[in-house]
Structure 1
Amino acid sequence: MNNTPRKVKFSTILNLLKKKPIPMLFGFLFTLIPLFLVIVLSIVFSSFGNDTPEIDYELINTQGKEITAEITDIETQYNVTINGVHPTIISYKYLENGNEVHSKYKVLEERKIANLEIGDNVDIKELNGNSILKGLKPYDFSTGFFLLFPIPFLIIGLPFLIYSILNMKKELNLYKFGKVNKGKIISMMPKSGLPFSNVGQGIIIHYEYESRNGNKIIGESFTTDFSIMSDKKKDDFTPIFVSTENENKSCIVSKLDSLRNGWNI
């Protein structure tokens, strides 16, 4: 291989991915978009748990001391519904070592707290400055299930994405390190792209070239540069890149890519 790789611009790399639009489209739709949605939704919904202190319920319930607190506020979160029930934040205060401590506790127990009012006394358990309402488990909105959401999509999309990237890397490797050779054009066939966008539209070119040992090799390459249809015809020679590791691997050097990347080929 050449010691110094040729420069390849990012736009050329994107065009390589577009050469196989269907695997690329499926790969991106079923991997990147679900992952993006998971991140956004996790950030949004995690904010629901930021309005009450984080506590270790089991530890406080088993080791905490029982004291009495006074309810100072009861707030029902009507903008959140879990199985038809709205979470409720109960604010309360209690004395600890002569100091008045204020805390909040979120529950999902409408029936158990239906008769509670501001000013009522309630039993709580306190441990090291943290507390719970006795007999009421806290409502903890867990975003962990969001991590499971993209798994089915990843199973579908990752093979397509990997296939697209591997194919792109093969041709990118030729662009950077391939030996410049010339191929004799055998045929040129237009290929249609995806509906509406025309992504994947281009020319399939079959050509013949010689290996270092003088063997004839038939190559096939795809280019999105339609200028070759007007510049070249059957039996004309066109520049190609040939792998120095495996001479059966080659690709067309399009005029557009050569100009765009400054290869001067």
Structure 2
Amino acid sequence: MNNTPRKVKLSTKLNILKKKPIPMLFGFLFTLIPLFLVIVLSIVFSSIGNDTSEIDYELINSQGKERTAEITDIETQYNVTINGVHPTIISYKYSENGKEIESKYKVLEERKIEKLEIGSNLEIKELNGSSIVKDLKPYDFGSGFFLLFPIPFLIIGLPFLIYSLLNLKKELKLFKFGKVSKGKIVSMIPKSGLPVSNVGQGIIVHYEYETRNGNKIIGESFTTDFSIMSDKKKEDLIPIFVSNENDEKSCVVPKLESLRNTWNIDFE
């Protein structure tokens, strides 16, 4: 294997991915969508849950001391609806060792709190600076359940993405480290691409070359460089990259990519 790898630009890597457009599109689309959804849902959930601090309800309920608090505000979040019910934030204050402490408590119990009013007393339980409203469980939005939503997309997209990346890695290895050899053209078959965009359009080239052991191999390679159709014909020699590890693995050297990456390979 060559000690110094050939330079391969980003545009060349993208062109390799575009040779197999369907796996590439499915892979990137079905993995980027979940990532986008996770970011959006995380922002939404954090905005919903940042009005009140997290508390250990069971611990405070079992070990907390009962106290009387005064309701200072009752706010209903009309922009959020869970099973037809709007969450409500109850703000209250109470005294602890002569110090007034203010706290907020979010609930999803319209019937149980409908008689509460600002200024009225509220029975709470307090433990180490945290408190809960007695006999009223806090509203805990199960964001973890919704964050599982993108998983089906990942299950669909990851195999396509892995396939595209493995194909990229295989061809990049030939581009960077492959030994330059010559192959004799056996056939050149145009291949159509995707409708409208023509992404994936190119030439399937079959060629014959000789391995280090003297065996003749018929190689097949796909190239998006259409210049080969005008520059070469059947029986002509073309430059190819042959793997140093397994000389049965090879690919056509794309003339355009050779010029773009200054590989200095002779195409005459």
Query: 1:84 corresponds to which letter in structure 2?
Result: G
Partner in structure 2 of residue 145 of structure 1: 145
Shift in Å at residue 72 of structure 1? 0.6
Residue type of the partner of 1:85? V
Map 1:151-166; keep pairs closer than 5 Å.
Answer: 151-166=151-166
What is the TM-score when the length of structure 1 is the normalising length?
0.97
**1:143 offset after TM fit, Å?**
2.0
1:82 paired to 2:49: no
| Contact 1:202-1:226 within 8 A present in 2 as well | yes
Partner amino acid for 1:88? T
Q: Which position in structure 1 is the counterpart of 2:117? A: 117
CA distance in 1, matches of 2:72, 2:25: 55
**Could you list the per-position Cα deviations for residues 41-66 of structure 1 after superposition, in whole angstroms to 9, with x for gaps in the alignment?**
11222221111122111111111000
The amino acid that maps onto 2:150 is P
Mapped partners of 2:205, 2:79: distance in 1:
60
Corresponding residue for residue 212 of structure 1? 212
Do 2:41 and 2:147's aligned partners in 1 also have CA atoms closer than 8 Å? no
**Alignment partner, residue 199 of structure 2:** 199
RMSD of Structure 2 on Structure 1 (CA): 1.0
Amino acid at match of 1:24: M
Moved more, 164-173 or 140-149: 140-149
Deviation, 1:192, is 0.8
Tell whether the 8 Å contact from 1:30 to 1:157 is kept in structure 2 after alignment.
Answer: yes
1:239 aligns with 239
Aligned residues: 265
CA distance in 1, matches of 2:168, 2:53: 50
For the Cα contact (< 8 Å) 2:178–2:243, is it kept in 1? yes
Write out per-residue CA displacement over residues 151-187 of structure 1, whole angstroms, 9 at most, x where no aligned residue: 2222221111111111111111000110000111111
Q: Tell me the percent identity.
A: 85
CA contact (8 A) 2:52 2:105 kept: yes
Verify the 8 A CA contact 2:33 2:153 in the aligned structure 1: no
Unmatched 5+ residue regions in structure 1? none
- Contact 1:46–1:143 (Cα < 8 Å) also in 2: no
Residue 251 of structure 2 corresponds to which residue in structure 1?
A: 251
Give TM-score, length-normalised by structure 2: 0.96
Offset at 1:35? 2.1
Counterpart of 2:229 in structure 1 is 229
